[in-house]
Amino acid sequence: MTPVWRKSSRSGSTSGQSDCVEVAQLARNIGVRDSKRPRGAHLLLAASAWHAFARDVKSGQHDLP
């Protein structure tokens, strides 16, 4: 199965470059990669870890002061 990489609809840009990561549902994990380097390395996270991280982001726990 070929992963379908998705980028956030809220991704920003600086100097014409997209500042974002992309995520994909893989067989048992969630893949995370740099959108500017799609052929580069990516992280594999357990689905439970990704969902906990996404929940924390939505709640503002990772917002910068």
* Rounded-to-integer distance, Cα 23 and Cα 6, Å: 5
Span 17-56, pLDDT tens digits: 667 889 999 989 999 999 888 899 999 999 999 999 999 9
- pTM, rounded to two decimals: 0.74
Contact 17, 2 (CB under 8 A): no
* Rounded-to-integer distance, Cα 50 and Cα 13, Å: 24
Which residue from 3, 8, 24 is spatially nearest to 57, judged by alpha carbons? 8
Examine the pLDDT at 16 and tell me if it is beyond 70: no
So what's the pLDDT on residue 35?
Answer: 87
Alpha helices in the chain (DSSP H): 47-58
> Structural domain boundaries of the chain?
6-58
Examine the pLDDT at 12 and tell me if it is beyond 80: no
More confident residue, 63 or 10: 63
Strand order in the sheet with 6-7: 6-7, 21-25, 29-34, 42-46
